[in-house]
Amino acid sequence: MPEEKKSMLYKLKPVIDRLPAVNRPEGHVHFRTKMMWVLLVLILYFALTNVMIYGLDQEKTVDLFAGYRAIMAGATGSLMHLGIGPIVTGSIIMQLFTGAKIINLDLSKDDDKAIYQGTQKFLVIVMIVVESIPQVYGYLIPSTTFIGNMDGFWIGNGPMLAKTLIILQLCIGSYMVFLFDEIVSKWGIGSGVSLFIAAGVSQAIFTGTFNWAPIQMTSPLSVGNPPAGTIPKTFYLITNMSGSDLVGGGYEQIFLQQPNPIIALVGTIAIFLFVAYAESCRVELPLAHERARGARGRYPIRLIYASNIPVILMSALLANVSMLSLLLWSHPSFSKWPLIGHQAWIGAYPSLDYAQQMQISQSTPISGIAFYTSPIRGVGDWLLPLMDPSRYGTYMYGHTYLQISIHLLIYVSVMVIGSILFAKFWIETTNMGPEAVAKQIHGSGMHIPGFRRDPRVLRKILARYIPVVTIISGAIVGGLAAGADLIGTVGNTSGTGVLLAVGIIIQMYEAIGREQMMEMHPVLRGFFGT
């Protein structure tokens, strides 16, 4: 390729080549070895989620992504505090820029692909720093003891030094997540990012179902403070409540009241079953090879054609809206910006005293755009107050029924319409549209039997299915995520988290099946490109 046609990103090559990376295996990696690396990385990841940031005042910590923690993975206040956020953000930016031809790279060429991956790694580091600094200088507060110790090293600069060390810990932890992802993708099976999401959501679902510890850990078990898990909570209340108590509100507490009511468990199971069924629904176009007689195949167009990508992008957008509005409302610097700083119409958030009184997080919006686009957390946010205002009126947090209804309508509409738009955009920018797929099929020497061997004919046939299926798939995943949030999910994992976990588990199962097949039939390795 002539030098003048190369992408400007090649100028980053000296920096990219010096970034820490995981080398690819030189030969074939045995299936058992791949599974060992996957399990090892998973264990290390869970271990690091329990390593708290040194010097951090955990009681004053505010998680900007508390409402989206299930899909961000990680754990609040730990080395994994940022989770997979920087990796996903960097990946989305690179894919969108490349798909929209803003970045001139041909990923079919090894050199361009290496630059793409290296630039993405560099962008991840940039995003780690970009996400770390505003949080540490506003919401991840160093303890007074830690500041005092740092002041002993550099008199008068203890606070700055303490915050710098916390930022350094966040950067190290987040980059370790990125390296873990590389280990899984190069030496294991699937994607590390997907693995962490599925593992975090699965852990939350398991603990939300079977946790026998009381809801309020500082108080003993009682009817007013039952076990937090769905199953222990149900058995405890049934065995410790009289018949009149059950009729007078016990059944309501068991089936509908947070945390982890039976309706949330049933909804979670229903989503698992529906997504598993939808993943198997597809339209298969018959294909035949132009030269090799008898060589036939099928091109599957799945009902969930855009996968879960649209709802990931929509959730990431809403998470950024929530983070930006919180920064503008309460950050020491951003809240002073003219016109948009500390404006309730953008998003207002509760004070520490009000949040403790209402038992909500300080990162929960209570008014403005951030409130109306924030996720709904189960029936307690809308159905219970309508059923019994005298008992559950506090769940409304001062809002009127009209405001709650508008919140419900806007959130569902934003999730469905936004997922449809992102599905269409994603399909066109990732070469999954009718024209791109027609060129791929024609380039492989295949055609649809009974039709002229012309990519334009292929495009017309594919255009009958792909645009329609794209809209349907976006609406399905957006509607499922919003619907799951309306009824609640076990472990407060959010509808998006459950959707992602199901899709990832199914993809992992299929990938393990392919690996086992290649172990038994080595000739298939070339077919799968490994």
User: Residue 163's pLDDT is what?
Assistant: 92
CB-CB neighbours of 229 under 10 Å: 24
Is the pLDDT confidence value at 530 over 70? no
Could you tell me if 289 and 187 lie in one domain? no
**Furthest CA-CA distance within the chain:** 83
Looking at the DSSP assignment, which residues form a beta bridge with residue 52? 78
In a domain, 332, yes or no: no
What is the number of structural domains in the chain? 3
Could you tell me if 191 and 293 lie in one domain? no
User: Residue 528's pLDDT is what?
Assistant: 47
Q: What percent of the chain has pLDDT over 90?
A: 24
Domain-terminating residue out of 259, 281, 296 = 259
Output the DSSP codes for 47-114.
HHTTSBPTTB-GGG---TTGGGHHHH-S-TTBTTTTTTHHHHHHHHHHHHHHHTTSS---TTSHHHHH
List C-alpha distances in Å: 321 to 64, 318, 327, 328: 11, 5, 10, 11
Could you tell me if 388 and 510 lie in one domain? yes
Could you tell me the pTM of the whole model? 0.81
Could you tell me if 123 and 15 lie in one domain? yes
Q: At what angle do helices 262-280 and 455-487 cross, to 10 degrees?
A: 170
Q: Could you give the 3-state DSSP secondary structure of residue 322?
A: helix
Task: State phi, psi for 360 to the nearest 5 degrees.
Answer: -125, 165
User: Residue 2's pLDDT is what?
Assistant: 46
Least trusted range by pLDDT, from 164-178, 296-310, 400-414, 441-455: 441-455
Could you tell me if 301 and 232 lie in one domain? no
Could you tell me if 248 and 302 lie in one domain? no
Looking at the DSSP assignment, which residues form a beta bridge with residue 298? 286
Q: How far apart are CA 480 and CA 486, in angstroms?
A: 10
Could you tell me if 290 and 427 lie in one domain? yes
Residues spanned by the domain of 285? 267-308+366-516
Q: How far apart are CA 398 and CA 378, in angstroms?
A: 18
Kindly report, residue by residue over 6-65, the tens digit of the pLDDT.
778 888 888 888 888 888 888 878 888 999 999 999 999 999 999 999 999 888 888 877
CB of 116 closer than 8 Å to CB of 98: yes
Residue 114 vs residue 163, higher pLDDT: 163
In a domain, 203, yes or no: no
